């Protein structure tokens, strides 16, 4: 995502996706998901979200990458947001790593072919699920932000720790948020511990929390920090 500051206001909604769809029409899509406003504890609609965006700066959509229903809902929200807030809407995507921003910009500007874009931007295997988001942004001249830290740096942090990022040159550091990144304490760490236990980092290892967990955790944070 775009780099955040404490002043950014964020809406909080809970999306429940019931099942992926092989083919979707907008009329039937609503039968496959429910949205709840976590503040009011009431059901909400996509239009409610768009209306409430006048009180927020960023809408985060947490997705399952292979969920076609979720991708279609993202597309609906993007279209509605661009219509309601012209000139104020941009799209940020985890699929694209920050070192692919130039390639992404070149495609949106119509300078390079689809084939070159998909190869050089290292799109995911299920890019077809996301294609309509990119094409809508291209057609409507919306900025698309490559939001993910390069995978090679996430792997480096996993192996060598966050301090290893300081060894990168200016170009490498330009793909990351300002260093140093503090992840040692706080609610995000506790949420990761609660959600994943140690399974993601240890693959069944019975280790107690320690440097091995923190190396994996820091790699996760580094890959999501933008």
CATH number at residue 39: 3.40.50.11550
Quote the CA–CA distance of 37 and 209 in Å, as a whole number.
Answer: 35
- Report yes or no on 1 lying in a domain: no
Same domain, 92 and 78: yes
Q: What is the pLDDT of residue 155?
A: 92
Q: Is 100 left (phi over 0), alpha (psi -120 to 50) or beta?
A: alpha
Q: What is the pLDDT of residue 77?
A: 95
- The verdict on whether omega for the bond into residue 36 sits within 30 degrees of 0, i.e. cis, is no
Closest CA to 44 of 10, 88, 77: 77
Same domain, 94 and 38: yes
Same domain, 117 and 216: no
Out of 96, 124, 148, a domain closes at 148
Same domain, 69 and 160: no
Q: What is the pLDDT of residue 204?
A: 42
- Report yes or no on 7 lying in a domain: no
Q: What is the pLDDT of residue 187?
A: 75
pLDDT in tens, 81-115: 999 999 999 999 999 999 999 999 999 999 999 99
Same domain, 52 and 109: yes
Regions of the chain with pLDDT less than 70: 1-28, 182-185, 188, 192, 195-226
Same domain, 126 and 156: no
Bridge partners, 91 (sequence order): 144
Q: What is the pLDDT of residue 112?
A: 98
Quote the CA–CA distance of 226 and 205 in Å, as a whole number.
Answer: 30
Out of 108, 132, 148, a domain closes at 148
Same domain, 29 and 126: yes
**CA 106-149-214 angle, 5° bins:** 175
User: Which residues constitute the domain of residue 183?
Assistant: 151-224
Q: What is the pLDDT of residue 215?
A: 58
pTM of the entire predicted model: 0.76
Same domain, 198 and 110: no
Please state the domain count of the chain.
Answer: 2
Q: What is the pLDDT of residue 211?
A: 52
Q: What is the pLDDT of residue 143?
A: 97
Q: What is the pLDDT of residue 202?
A: 47
Same domain, 158 and 219: yes
Out of 82, 117, 148, a domain closes at 148
Q: What is the pLDDT of residue 120?
A: 98
DSSP 137-169: HHHTT--EEEEEPPHHHHHHHHHH-GGGGGGS-
* Edge-to-edge order in the sheet of strand 13-17: 13-17, 33-37, 42-44
- 110 with 62: CB under 8 angstroms? no
Buried/exposed code over 190-218 (b: 16+ C-beta within 10 A; e: otherwise): eebeeeeebeebeeeeeeeeeeebbbbbb
Q: What is the pLDDT of residue 25?
A: 47
Q: What is the pLDDT of residue 73?
A: 92
- Report yes or no on 92 lying in a domain: yes
């Amino acid at each position: 995502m775009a780099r955040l500051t404490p002043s950014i206001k964020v809406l909080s909604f809970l999306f429940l996706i019931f099942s992926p769809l092989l083919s979707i029409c907008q009329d039937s899509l609503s039968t496959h998901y429910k949205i709840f406003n976590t503040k009011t504890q009431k059901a909400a609609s996509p239009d409610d979200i768009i209306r409430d965006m006048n009180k927020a700066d960023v809408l985060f959509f947490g997705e399952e990458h292979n969920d076609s229903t979720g991708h279609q809902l993202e597309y609906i929200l993007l279209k509605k947001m661009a219509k309601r807030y012209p000139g104020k809407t941009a799209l940020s995507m985890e699929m694209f790593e920050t070192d692919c921003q130039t390639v992404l910009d070149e495609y949106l500007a119509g300078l390079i072919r689809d084939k070159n874009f998909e190869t050089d931007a290292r799109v995911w295997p299920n890019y077809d699920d996301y294609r309509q988001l990119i094409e809508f942004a291209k057609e409507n001249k919306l900025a698309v932000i490559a939001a993910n830290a390069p995978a090679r740096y996430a792997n480096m942090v996993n192996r060598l720790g966050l301090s290893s990022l300081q060894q990168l040159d200016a170009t490498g550091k330009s793909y990351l948020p300002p260093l140093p990144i503090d992840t040692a304490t706080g609610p995000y760490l506790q949420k990761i511990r609660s959600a994943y236990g140690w399974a993601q980092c240890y693959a069944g290892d019975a280790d107690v929390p320690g440097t091995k967990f923190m190396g994996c955790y820091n790699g996760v944070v580094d890959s999501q920090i933008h």
